[in-house]
Chains A and B, each alone.
Chain A
Amino acid sequence: MNRFQDQSPLHTLMHHLAKLPGLGPRSAQRIALHLLKKREAHLHPLMISLQQVSDHIQTCDACGNLDTTSPCHICADLRRDTAQLCVVADVADVWALERAHIFKGHYHVLGGVLSALDGVGPDDLRLGTLRQRVQQLGVREVILALAATLEAQSTAHVIRDQLADLPVAITRLAHGLPVGGELDYMDEGTLVAALQARR
């Protein structure tokens, strides 16, 4: 790699792409070249889209969901049941549950799960406001919709501990899901069954 290449905007682009989840240097190169080949069809719409996302998408102050407004459309929806609060690791899990059209309560997005080895502690997650929301909303049931992984189950344990003294039932999804399985990968039928059979 010579100096010109190192400093060229194209190299910078590939450098950024290669850092994205699931991509490596070679696919980054392929994507960058493809975008340049198809400027009108792909590069320009992508630029506009990135700008719009950056300008308009925000994290909901209440639940951690992503939306164009804060509070998000779920938190703002008065028809939703405030007695049930579903705790999930990521926004993708909210999408999965919403696709299944079965849950009518509110969500709480943690933004990850506890992992000492990855340096994710309680302060890095939306754990502090959970207790507060449970009390403010008058929640009667907290559903822990977390995966069966070690980290997710440790997180569930800590949440149970934090809410132990509140008059609230804490349930979890029935885990027919594979160990390490993430909600987002579950089909809707399985998700519905897991939610109905919670305990």
Chain B
Amino acid sequence: MATLSRLTLTNFRCHAHFRHEFSSAPVVIWGANGAGKTSIIEAISLLAPGRGLRRAGPTEWAQHPPHAASSLVWGITAEVQKKSGFMTIATGQDGDDDASSRVVRVDGKNVSQQALLEKIAVVWLTPDQDRLLADTDSTKRKFIDRLVYGFDPSHATRVNRFERAMAERMRLLRDGPFEPAWLNALEDQMAQGAVAIAAARAQMLAKLNEMMQQHESDFPRPALTLMNETEDAIQHQPALLIEEQMRARYADDRGRDKAAERTHTGPHRCGVNVVHATQHRAAHLCSTGEQKALLIRLMLGYVALLELWRGDAPLLLLDDLASHLDPARRDALFHELRQTRCQFWLTGTDKDTFQSLNPHAQFLRL
């Protein structure tokens, strides 16, 4: 398992300087609202590529003193213990120049954000995601893609590359030059990308559904299905054939796509259907509480799958999760979390909420 053994924050949100050491036991961060609890686990979420669990950016991460002309240089350093050894992951603003991006260093060497996926897995659940399973297809699709990154770091590159190819093609269709070979080249790469993306998504979801079926849990099980031609076809047709069909489709659709200023087919159109598996009810028809329970089950299944595939358990960040569950479910959750081999992090305002974790957890008051 991966254990975050020491965390240092500098000028990150409300923390001018924060440093704490942790054991592999569950971490409970508690205290009044506004004390900076979520900021701590947000910092940990930045050990994964992207904008973190608040989907924020450098201008929000950096402290900005009221009378200063510019924000302070911010940084996060985490020491992580894994089976394979010890590493230091750091992220933050690089020097003075580019305050708009963040750099990542592993053991002092600059690496790409994507490279983090190979080093460590970080999974989180926040109150913002309560209704995620009933959200728009676009939101659900991004969520699914993020789940795929955990197993297959190249999926992120694949999705970005497809989107760039799609944007390039749309620009050519709209503004020219009309260069058939160039369009063919882009459509060829889109077709290949579409098939690879569909295959990765379908494979991950199949494994996840299977894992959830195998594991007993007090939480209701969601069944997830991808709703898209390519994702569907990939289950029973050779990839090369589908690629060929996609290429032909993109070539045929040039006029139609140009007129609508959007690309009609591709992985960016994939829907995600979520059903409460025992009640056979669509997730969007379930109560918010039930949706949250479905999501917790999904997360528990995903964590088990990550452990199995990666050989080390992810860091699991649960923001303000326990407070909205009734005591029985809450204790069931703590129990199931303790069955995973994750170092998990919980935040909350009331220490009593975490009573049943008391002898096993490390409590940090902010």
Contacts and interface: CB of A to CB of B under 8 A. Distances in A.
Interface size band for B: 20 to 34
A180 B181 contact: no
Contacts, number: 63
B352 interface: no
Contacts of B96: 24, 26-27, 30
Contacts of A25: 97
Interface in B158-216: 161, 164-165, 167-169, 171-172, 175, 177, 179, 181-182, 184-186, 188-189
B184 A121 contact: no
A114 interface: yes
B245 interface: no
Contacts of A27: 95-97
Interface in B62-95: 95
Interface size band for A: 20 to 34
Interface string A40-69: 000000000000000000000000000000
The residue in A151, A156, A162 that gathers the most chain B C-beta atoms within 10 A of its C-beta is A151
A30 B179 CA distance: 45
Interface majority SS on B: helix, strand, loop or mixed? Answer: helix
A180 B114 CA distance: 12
Interface string B269-284: 0000000000000000
B110 interface: no
A158 interface: yes
A71 interface: no
A181 to B, nearest CB: 11
Contacts of B169: 116
Nearest to B186: A154
A150 B97 contact: no
A43 to B, nearest CB: 22
A157 interface: yes
A29 B163 CA distance: 37
Contact of B97 (A24, A123, A153): A24
Given A158-B179, A158-B181, A117 B97 contact: no
Contacts of B168: 115-117, 150-151, 154
Contacts of B181: 157-158, 161-162
Contact of B185 (A23, A26, A157): A157
A24 B186 CA distance: 33
Given A150-B161, A150-B164, A180-B157, A117 B179 contact: no
A122 B95 CA distance: 38
A143 to B, nearest CB: 18
A177 to B, nearest CB: 13
Contacts of B165: 150
B95 to A, nearest CB: 8
A78 interface: no
B157 A179 contact: yes
A121 B179 contact: yes
Contacts of B161: 150, 179
B263 to A, nearest CB: 14
Interface in A131-188: 150-151, 153-158, 161-162, 179-180
The residue in A23, A25, A26 that gathers the most chain B C-beta atoms within 10 A of its C-beta is A26
Contacts of B188: 157
B184 A157 contact: yes
A122 B177 contact: yes
A175 to B, nearest CB: 14
A129 to B, nearest CB: 17
The residue in B169, B171, B172, B185 that gathers the most chain A C-beta atoms within 10 A of its C-beta is B185
Nearest to A18: B97
Contact of A179 (B97, B154, B186): B154
A122 B164 contact: no
Contacts of B164: 117, 150
A95 B87 CA distance: 36
Given A117-B167, A150-B161, A150-B164, A24 B98 contact: yes
A157 B182 CA distance: 7
Closest 9 CB pairs of A and B: A157-B185, A24-B97, A161-B181, A26-B96, A116-B171, A154-B185, A116-B168, A158-B181, A116-B172
Given A30-B96, A157-B188, 15 more contacts: A25-B97, A26-B96, A27-B97, A116-B171, A116-B172, A117-B167, A121-B179, A123-B177, A150-B168, A153-B185, A154-B168, A154-B185, A154-B189, A158-B181, A161-B181
25 contacts: A24-B96, A24-B97, A25-B97, A26-B96, A114-B182, A116-B169, A116-B172, A117-B164, A117-B167, A121-B179, A122-B182, A150-B164, A150-B165, A150-B189, A151-B168, A153-B189, A154-B168, A155-B185, A157-B182, A157-B185, A158-B179, A158-B181, A162-B181, A179-B154, A179-B157
Interface of A: 23-27, 30, 114-117, 121-123, 150-151, 153-158, 161-162, 179-180
Interface of B: 95-98, 154, 157, 161, 164-165, 167-169, 171-172, 175, 177, 179, 181-182, 184-186, 188-189
